Structure 1
Amino acid sequence: MTDDQLRPDLDDLLDDLYEGQERVTQAEIHRRAVAAELPAELLIRITAMPEGEYAVDEAAELLGGTPA
C-alpha cells in the first residue's frame, strides 16, 4: 500500500485517539490500531515508533499522516 492509501486510515485513527487528549503513548496507538484492524503496513510503522508519549503532530510526522 502507498502512503496515500494508508493516510485516511491513519488520519481517522489519530482523530479518534487525540480527541480530548494532548499526548498518547505508542502502546495505546498500537492497541487502538490493532483493534481497528488497520493494514499491516501501518501496524509495522506504529510498532517501529520508540516507546513514549506523542503529541498528535509528532505521531503524524512519524507515521506519515496529517496532524489533526
Structure 2
Amino acid sequence: MTDETGRAELYALLDDIYLGKERVSRAEIARRAVAAELPAHLLTRINALPEGEYAQDEAEEVLHSSTEGA
C-alpha cells in the first residue's frame, strides 16, 4: 500500500466516522482506524493525537500535516 493509498483510506474512514456527527473523540477515531486495518504509520499518528474531541476538519488538518513526507 502506498502512502497516498493510506491517506485516501484515512480520509474515507474519517468521512464514514463523521457521518451525521459534528465531533468525535480521538479514542473513537483510533478504534475505527484499527478496525479498518490502516497502515501502522497512520495508526501511530492517530494515537499521538491529544485526548479530546475533534471536528472532521480539525482531525484532517492535524493528520494531514503529520503524514506529509511519511
Q: Identify whether the pair has TM-score above 0.5, normalized to the shorter chain.
A: yes
1:28 aligns with 2:28: yes
Residue by residue over 1:5-62, the C-alpha shift from the partner in whole angstroms, topping out at 9 and shown as x without a partner, is 4221111111100000000000000000000111001000000000000000000011
CA distance in 1, matches of 2:22, 2:36: 21
- Which residue number corresponds to residue 9 of structure 1? 9
**TM-score scaled by structure 2?**
0.84
**Displaced runs of 4+ in structure 1, greater than 6 A?**
none
- Which residue number corresponds to residue 63 of structure 1? 63
Counterpart secondary structure, 1:54: strand
Unaligned runs of 5+ in 2: 66-70
Q: Percent identity?
A: 62
**TM-score scaled by structure 1?**
0.86
Count the aligned residue pairs: 64
